[in-house]
Chain A
Amino acid sequence: MRDNLPLTLIAVFASFSLVSIGGGTSIIAGIQHQAVDVQHWVTARDFVDLFAISRAAPGPGSMLTTLIGWHVMGWSGAIIATLALFVPSSLLCYGVALVWSRHRGKRWHTALEQGLSPVAIGLILAGVVSLLRVNGGGVLSWVIAFGSAGLLSWQPRLHPLLVFLFGALIFAGARAMAVV
């Protein structure tokens, strides 16, 4: 397999596609193991850098895969790795969405939508708490998160990017004064 890099990329990332239940974060450890220890595509240090970049860039966190593909074989590697990770799970999701929408308007479908809605809110809340825990800012992260929510609810026309900029400035300022 080592001699056929594109096929190995596909085999490795496609195998992660259908096991990444609960979002991309659940497969990061597995990807690290494959990319660093098994395939030797990147060093452990490179991996940490690529991970940081994927967090800093827009888009889903699993753009990490794109970067590994790029690191290994340039643009074609980036495309191959991205497609390998996303196509299998996307096809499955499309199939489920299709069946789902065929039954629109039936009573069980309405019950399903109304019943799952609060569960989704609970999941978002759980996600927020874990994001705030991971974020390095401690109390300041919470203050900024709630401040940004308050500002955006109070002034819905305000562009979120402007609010993000405030967040960045306040954080950088606090770090400069060594508060955080």
Chain B
Amino acid sequence: MSSSAPASPPSIPAIFLVFFRIGLLSFGGGVTGWVYREVVTARGWMGEDEFMSGLAMSQILPGTNISNLSIYVGQRLRGAWGAVAAIFGLFVGPFFAVIGIASVYSRLKELPFSDAAMEGVAAAAIGMLLIIIGRGARRSARDPAALIALLATFVAVGLLHWSLPVVVVIVGAASVAAAWLRGPADA
């Protein structure tokens, strides 16, 4: 189940529209949470492992995670045009929004509590990431090797601030080896 694509992949305009929405709605830094919600939870375009491994890949490659993740999802669903639709959809909204906000910024800054409101939005957006973590942790808990990989990654990157690409390569290699030894049967 984890790596099977939907019977008929979504159309190019459908991919564009979903990423257009993700781009416009992704306030406060929880963009990954939106992509997960739209692509995995709401539409079932991708399985969990497929999404997560693409996410890990997006984080080791140069470029912003979210643009890489969009290209990965678009490519997987509809090849080159899918990737173009996803990345273009993702950027077109924020492109105009950011310039629009810059044009009225001096007035916006005088609004009372606008900073606090943005911090509140950012905190709430983090909640969407917590949901992914909860689901992922529950899945990993069934397999000791996966749980160790999850915790090791978190401690090394989040607490010890080691270099992210180095940690992903080392922990990832060990975790992949464990998954290989365990065999593909239990998805």
Which chain A residues have a beta carbon within 8 Å of chain B's beta carbons? Answer: 17-24, 49-50, 53-63, 66-67, 70-71, 75, 78, 82, 86, 88-90, 92-94, 96-98, 100-101, 104-105, 107-108, 110-132, 135-137, 140-142, 144-153, 156, 160-161, 163-172, 174-176, 180
B residues less than 8 Å from A114 (CB atoms):
2, 49, 53, 146, 176, 179, 184, 187
A residues less than 8 Å from B172 (CB atoms):
115-116, 119
B residues less than 8 Å from A165 (CB atoms):
121
B6 lies within 8 A of chain A by Cβ:
no
Does A60 contact B56, Cβ atoms closer than 8 Å? no
B12 lies within 8 A of chain A by Cβ:
no
A118's partner among B98, B149, B164 (CB-CB below 8 A) is B149
Give the complex CA separation of A67 and B99 in angstroms: 6
Q: How far is the CB of A108 from chain B (nearest CB, A)?
A: 7
B residues less than 8 Å from A141 (CB atoms):
119, 122-123, 126
Residue of A at shortest CB range from B124? Answer: A167
- Known contacts: A116-B172, A120-B52. The answer to whether A172 contacts B64 by CB under 8 A is no
- Known contacts: A101-B76, A149-B130. The answer to whether A119 contacts B153 by CB under 8 A is yes
B116 lies within 8 A of chain A by Cβ:
yes
A residues less than 8 Å from B131 (CB atoms):
149, 152-153
- Chain B positions 24-79 with a Cβ under 8 Å from a chain A Cβ: 24-29, 31-32, 34, 37, 41, 48-50, 52-68, 71-72, 75-76
Residue of B at shortest CB range from A169? Answer: B120
The interface on chain B, measured as residues whose beta carbon lies within 8 A of the other chain's beta carbons, has a size of 103
- Known contacts: A53-B102, A86-B91. The answer to whether A140 contacts B123 by CB under 8 A is yes
A residues less than 8 Å from B34 (CB atoms):
160
Does A57 contact B71, Cβ atoms closer than 8 Å? no
- Known contacts: A59-B26, A115-B180. The answer to whether A144 contacts B98 by CB under 8 A is no
Q: How far is the CB of B2 from chain A (nearest CB, A)?
A: 7
Among the interface residues B48, B62, B129, B152, which one has the most CB atoms of the partner chain A within 10 A? B62
A residues less than 8 Å from B179 (CB atoms):
110-112, 114-115
A121's partner among B87, B121, B137, B163 (CB-CB below 8 A) is B137
A residues less than 8 Å from B102 (CB atoms):
50, 53, 67, 70-71
Which secondary structure characterizes the binding site on chain A?
Answer: helix
Give the complex CA separation of A180 and B171 in angstroms: 38
Give the complex CA separation of A164 and B123 in angstroms: 8
Give the complex CA separation of A104 and B64 in angstroms: 25
Does B153 contact A98, Cβ atoms closer than 8 Å? no
Give the complex CA separation of A134 and B21 in angstroms: 26
Give the complex CA separation of A126 and B116 in angstroms: 24
- Known contacts: A67-B98, A119-B149, A126-B158. The answer to whether A171 contacts B119 by CB under 8 A is yes
B residues less than 8 Å from A146 (CB atoms):
127, 130
Give the complex CA separation of A115 and B58 in angstroms: 15
Does B149 contact A167, Cβ atoms closer than 8 Å? no
